[in-house]
Structure 1
Amino acid sequence: MAVLDYKCPNCGGEMTFDSASGMLACGSCGRKDNIEQYADAPRSSVSAQSQMKEYQCNSCGAVIVTEPETTATTCSFCNSSVVLIDRIAGQFAPSKVIPFAISKDQAQKAFQKWCKNGRLTPGGFMQANRIKGITGLYVPFWLYDLHSDVEVRAHGTRVRSYTSGDYFYTETQHFDVYRDITLDYVKVPVDASEKMNDELMDKLEPFPYDQLKDFKTPYLAGYIAEKYNYDNNQLMPRAQHKVDGFIESYVRSTMSGYHTVTYKSKDVDTTARKAEHVLLPVWVFHYDYNRKKYTFAMNGQTGKVVGHPPISKGKMFMWFSGIFLASLIAMKGISLAMGGGFW
């Protein structure tokens, strides 16, 4: 099956994508080449339906065995970076990619700093090297351009109170409220990998979409990449759900002149104007602490870290005890200032 790797024209060493320079770099002699000068692999001519799992490394000849979703990986024998071009062909070919901007060393240091900043994490959480693995992974996403037609009928009230003579009046006006709204949302991301935790991927947002590049296979060199498990039609309900809150917030903002608003009907029709398959950079950390495994993710462009670290029960008790004592002291001070006794 088709395997693509990049060899240095100077020394024959392996070339991988360098996040610092944004170029294809040789780890042996230091040569750097602009990715734009590379003609992309002829992916459209290769069958995208192949589910073959065995590939042969161009460097050492070893058989590379991968899962069907993997599109870029490293050879287990010689550690060469390879791109499995038949798996990013046809319908699985991404149109855009955001390259990594954070190196593996930078990612590890930033992750350790993030862990140490946890106020409620156990003291020994980062005292030893508990990182079991760091993987640079290009995660498949669908970016949706969505169009929403919203029609709302509601009952609104405005309340006015005033005094006339010896009487206090409350006047309530009732209104039929109608809104016909058109909303457009650009580049709504939904991850398309079955393996990735949807909650973690959602929290990694936003990605800097101004950094989107036309896809070229050299961007994958040195990283792991996967093809999508779900097409854009299958993930459309998730994309619609992601904008539901924004739609509701906007509708409410148009009715701010009323004291109360009660919906009679609300019809929302959200359609996709465009769905684009892209690869986005994610550093995945596998962490071992107190005989439990934890998974964290980092945005490979912004450095944002998400995940659920362990919680120290002792620190939690001290934290809430401190808040409780501070509240008691504040209440006692207020009571004494008002001339009373708190206890």
Structure 2
Amino acid sequence: MAVLDYKCPNCGGEMAFDSASGMLSCGSCGRKDNIEQSSDAPNPSVFAHGEAKEYQCNSCGAVIVTEPETTATMCSFCNSSVVLIDRMAGGFAPAKVIPFAISKAEAQKAFQKWCKNGRLTPGAFMKANRIKGVTGLYVPFWLYDLHSDVEVRAHGTKVRSYTRGDYMYTETQHFDVYRDIVLDYVKVPVDASEKMNDELMDKLEPFPYDQLKNFKTPYLAGFIAEKYNFDDRQLMPRAQHKVDGYIDSYVRSTMSHYHTVTYQSKDVDTTSRKAEHVLLPVWMFHYDYNRKKYTFAMNGQTGKVVGRPPISLGKMTLWFSGIFLASLISVKILSAAMGGGFW
């Protein structure tokens, strides 16, 4: 099966993508190659479509065993970066990629800072080296350009109160409300990997889509990459669901001048104008604390961290006690200022 690795033309050392420079870099002699100006490797004419699981490392000859979805990995014997290009060809080839902008060392440092900032996390959560694994992973996403035709019929009211003489009057006007709205959304992301937690991936957004580059395999060197498990048609319902809230918010904004609005009918037809298969950078952290395993994810471009750290019951009790005490003091001060008593 086809395996691609990157050797330095100067010294023969291992080359990998460098997030700081955005270039293919040799760890031995420091040579850097511009990926955008390089000719990418040709796709093989015969594709395995993810069925093959064994490959041979070009550096040491060891057998590399991978899961069917893996498209880039590391040799466990010599630590060489390998790209399984036959698994990324044809329909599985990404159109674009956002490269990593944060190195592994930077990601670990930022993650430790994030954990220490947790107000309710146990004090010992980051006092020991409990990180069991840090993986730079290119996650497959579909980016959708969506078009929505929205037709709404509703009943609206406007209420006006006024006085005349000794009397107060309330006037209520009733309106038939009709809206025919066209909405377009671009680059709506939906992760396409069966392994990834959808909630974690959604919370990592937004990614800087202005950093999207035409896909070239050298961007994967030194990282793990997956191919998609679900195509754009299968994930279209998730994409539609992601924009439902935006559609509702926009429709309500067009009726904000009414005091009350009662919907009679709302028809939403959302279609896909375009869907692109892209790879987005994610650092995955596997953390062990108090005999439990935790998984966190970091946006490989922005550094945003998501996940649920453990909660300290002691800190939570103190926090709520502090809020109660502060509220109690505020009420007593207010009561004293008003000349009353509070016990």
Give the TM-score category using the shorter length.
over 0.9
Matched, 1:238 2:252: no
Task: Give the residue type in structure 1 aligned to 2:27.
Answer: G
* Structure 1 residues 66-90: Cα deviation after superposition (integer angstroms, max 9, x where no partner): 0000000011111100000011010
What are the residue-to-residue correspondences of 1:164-203 with 2, within 5 Å? 164-203=164-203
Percent identity, aligned pairs only? 87
Measured in 2, the distance between the counterparts of 1:22 and 1:257 equals 50
SS at 2:267's partner residue? strand
Structure 1 residue 31, shift from structure 2 partner:
0.4
Tell whether the 8 Å contact from 2:50 to 2:69 is kept in structure 1 after alignment. Answer: no
Partner amino acid, structure 2, of 1:140? P
Q: Which runs of 5+ in 2 are unaligned?
A: none
Q: Which amino acid aligns with 2:316?
A: M
Cα drift, residue 338 of structure 1: 1.2
- Residue 211 of structure 1 is matched in structure 2 by 211
Equivalent pair of 1:286/1:293 in contact (CA under 8 Å): yes
Aligned residues: 343
**Structure-1 separation of matches of 2:36 and 2:328:** 65
**Counterpart of 2:322?**
322
The residue that corresponds to 1:105 in the other structure is 105
Structure 2 distance, partners of 1:106, 1:71, is 25
> For 1:1-343, what aligned pairs fall within 5 Å after superposition?
1-43=1-43, 45-343=45-343
Shift of 1:39: 1.6
Matched residue type, 1:260: T
Check whether the contact 1:48–1:89 (CA below 8 A) recurs between aligned residues: no
* Partners of 2:204 and 2:298 within 8 A in 1: yes
TM-score (normalizing by structure 2): 0.99
Deviations 1:104-144 (A, max 9, x none): 00000000000000000000000000000000000000000
Q: Is the partner of 2:247 in helix, strand or coil?
A: helix
Return 5+ residue gaps in structure 1 as ranges: none
Secondary structure of the equivalent of 1:37?
coil
CA distance in 1, matches of 2:204, 2:72: 22
TM-score by length of 1: 0.99
Q: Distance in 1 between matches of 2:14 and 2:211?
A: 26
Q: Which amino acid aligns with 2:197?
A: N
Amino acid at match of 2:115: C
Question: Runs of 4+ in structure 1 displaced over 6 angstroms?
Answer: none
SS in structure 2 of the partner of residue 36 of structure 1: coil
Instruction: State the 1:312 CA deviation.
Output: 0.3
Task: Give the CA deviation at 1:339.
Answer: 1.2
Measure how far apart 1:42 and its partner are. 1.8
d(CA) in 1 for partners of 2:177, 2:280: 43
> Residue type of the partner of 2:38?
Y
